[in-house]
Structure 1
Amino acid sequence: MTKIGLLAILLFSFIWVQPHRFDNEIAAFETQDKQTPPPTNPILFTGSSSIRLWPDLQHYFPDKVVLNRGFGGSELSDVRHFADRVIIRYKPKQVVVYAGENDIASGKLTAQQTYANFVDLFQYVRQKLPNVPFVYIAIKLSPSRRQYWAVVNETNQLISDYIARQKNAAFVDIRPSMLGSDNQPLPSLFKADSLHMTDAGYQRWAPVLKPYLK
C-alpha cells in the first residue's frame, strides 16, 4: 500500500470515530429506555432546547401518549444525524419537531441553508416512516436573537410553503400566540436569557399545537 493510500485510510478512520457533541445525551436516552421502556407508538417530540426544556410535556397533553426526545441546543442537522436513534426507533404515531433556531443563530446559516437542512430531515423521516404525520413548529422570535428575525421569518416561510405541498404534514405557527399588543414577543414568556421559555411560554404553545396532534 502506498503512503498516500495509508494516509487516506488513517484520515478516514480519524474522521469516522470523531464523537458527536450530543453523543452522551443520546446514549442517556438509550440507557433510560432500558431502565424504563418508552411508551408504544408515542407522539414523538424532538428538536432543540425548546423541546428539551418543556416541563412535564405529558401534563400539557394528558389525553395523548407523548415522548420528549429533545436534546442539547440541537440544530436540524443534529436531529437528522440522530434521527434513527431519537425518532425512527420509537415507531411513533406522529413526529413533532422544533429545530432551526440554532442553525440560524449558532450555525450562522442562511434561510436557504436552514431550509435545506429541514428538507433533508423531513425527507429522511418520510422515507423511513412514510405514513407517519409530521408536524413542524415554527421558529420562534426570541428577543435575544432579534438580529436574526428576518432570517427566521424567511426560513419559516420557506418551510411553510414546502410543508403545504406535502401529505400528512403540518406547519404550526406559534409566533402570533407569543406577541403582545405592541406586536412584540411578551417578555414574560421568556427566562432571563430572553431565549428559553418560561412555563407561560409553553402555555401559549400548547393550545395552538393541540389541534394538530393525533
Structure 2
Amino acid sequence: MKKSLSLFIFLCLFGVASAQNRPAFWQEIQDFKTENEANPPQKNPILLVGSSSFTMWKDVAAYFPDKTIINRGFGGSSLYDLNFYSEEILKPYAPKQIIIYCGENDFAADATLRPDQVFNRFKHFYAKIRKQHPKIPVDYISIKLSPSRENLWPQFIATNALIKKFMERKPNAEYIDITKAMNGADGKTRRDLFLEDMLHMKPEGYEIWKKVMNPYLK
C-alpha cells in the first residue's frame, strides 16, 4: 500500500513538473492537433498563421464566405514561436495561400530587440514555408500600430519597411499594408477600432482588414 501511494505521488509530481517544463503555447498546438483529428483539414484552404489578431478573429470565415479559411493564429505568439512550431502549423495543411500576421509580440516581449533581428526571424520563417510550399502565394500583413504599444511604433514601422522590401523582391509574395487604412482623417491610428485594451480590435477593425485583404486572397 505504501509503495502504491509513493508511486502515485511520484507520478503526480512528475506530471506537474512535465507540465511546467512544456514550452510556451504547447497546449494551443495540441488543440490544433485535436481539431485536425476531429475535422481533417480541407485541401487548398487559405491558411492564417500568427498571433492574437488572428486568434481573436474567430468569425473570419464569415468575412470571406466564398473562401475556405483555416485559422491557426495562437494568441501571444511571436515570430520566434512561429519558427519553433513551424512543423506543427505548416506540415498538416495543403494550403493554396498562407497569410501571416506576427511581429508585435516579439518587441512586446523584449523591447531591446532591433527591427533587423525581428526581420531575420521573419526571413527564417519564410524560408521554412518555402521549403514545404515553394510556389504558393505568401502574404504578410503589416504590424498594426496598436495604441497601447505606441512606445514600440518606431520598431514596428522599421520592421514593416524591411519586410515590405523583402516581399517585393520575392515571387508569389505580397506585403499587405493595413496601417494606412486604420488611420483617421488626422493621419493617426483610429482608437475607436480597438477594444478597451487598445491592442485587440473590434469588428470595425476587422472590416477594414477585410477590405484591404480582399484583393490579395486567392
Aligned to 1:71: 74
Q: Select which of 31, 35, 39 maps to 1:32.
A: 35
Matches within 5 A, 1:67-106: 67-106=70-109
SS at match of 1:44: strand
Q: Deviations over 1:106-165 (max 9, x none)?
A: 232210111010000001111111011100000000000001111110000000001111
Aligned to 1:116: 120
Give the TM-score normalised by the residue count of structure 2.
Answer: 0.88
Aligned to 1:129: 133
Between the aligned residues of both structures, percent identity stands at: 42
Is residue 44–residue 66 contact of structure 1 (8 Å, CA) maintained in 2?
yes
Give the TM-score normalised by the residue count of structure 1.
Answer: 0.90
Aligned to 1:44: 47
Is residue 95–residue 134 contact of structure 1 (8 Å, CA) maintained in 2?
yes
Q: Select which of 22, 26, 35 maps to 1:23.
A: 26
1:57 aligns with 2:36: no
SS at match of 1:90: coil
* 1:36, distance to aligned residue in structure 2 (A): 1.7
Is residue 135–residue 172 contact of structure 1 (8 Å, CA) maintained in 2?
yes
Q: Deviations over 1:37-94 (max 9, x none)?
A: 2222210001000011013111111111111000021001111111111123211111
CA–CA distance in structure 1, aligned partners of residues 173 and 72 of structure 2: 19
Q: Which stretches in structure 1 are left out of the alignment for 5+ residues?
A: 1-16
CA–CA distance in structure 2, aligned partners of residues 195 and 77 of structure 1: 20
1:188 aligns with 2:215: no
Aligned to 2:146: 142
CA–CA distance in structure 1, aligned partners of residues 23 and 136 of structure 2: 28
RMSD: 1.2
Is residue 78–residue 106 contact of structure 2 (8 Å, CA) maintained in 1?
yes
Q: Select which of 199, 202, 205 maps to 2:203.
A: 199
- Figure out how many residues of one structure are paired with residues of the other and give that number: 198
Aligned to 2:9: none
Q: Displaced runs of 4+ in structure 1, greater than 6 A?
A: none
CA–CA distance in structure 2, aligned partners of residues 92 and 18 of structure 1: 32
Amino acid at match of 1:210: N
CA–CA distance in structure 2, aligned partners of residues 96 and 107 of structure 1: 24
